[in-house]
Amino acid sequence: MDAFVAWYTAHMGFLPKQLAVMILSIFPLVELRGGIPLARFLQLPLFQAILFSVIGNIIPIPFILFFIKKIFDWLRPTRHFGKFVRKMEQRAMSKSDSISKAEFWGLVAFVGIPLPGTGGWTGAMIASLLKIDIRKASLAILLGIAIAATIMSLVSYGIFRM
């Protein structure tokens, strides 16, 4: 935690706390799973922690759902990015079994359970690659984000606080 505090102070300390939480929640792998604990560390009220981390987590989702396949199709034949795209597709699809079987509820659970490698980014990428209806995928991802926000709030602010 000391290393994180030093990094935050050096790189993001000039930003308003709410904006720092929102920006951190935009990044893949971190998402609101890092945003809510950061908000707690910055002593933001719970409502602000949830609001700004959820907004940050939601921002990239429509872009991923609408454009990731087109971007991957465009980059796949290139020498520099083709290997990266194939690796990203393989990584996402390796986690898609539970989603492809249960589709809506599988996607909700995948996004909602805050484990490494899960979340809105990967869920949206899998939904796009599996060609799940965008409205269904969007609703499932939003519901999953709400569940993840609840779990992370309980862990960071509530009864499970460590």
Calculate mean pLDDT across residues 87-93.
85
pLDDT of 92: 82
Tell me the C-alpha distance between 13 and 69, whole Å. 36
Statement: residue 11 has pLDDT above 90: no
Statement: residue 42 has pLDDT above 60: yes
Tell me the C-alpha distance between 25 and 71, whole Å. 22
Pair of tokens at residue 94: 């390796």
Statement: residue 51 has pLDDT above 80: yes
pLDDT category of residue 99 using cuts at 50, 70 and 90: confident
pLDDT of 161: 54
pLDDT of 153: 95
- Averaged pLDDT score across all residues of the chain: 89
Contacts for 119 with CB less than 8 Å, ≥ 6 apart: 28, 29, 31, 33, 57, 111, 148
Statement: residue 116 has pLDDT above 70: yes
The CA–CA distances, whole Å, from 26 to 29, 82, 95 equal: 9, 25, 21
More confident residue, 88 or 56: 56
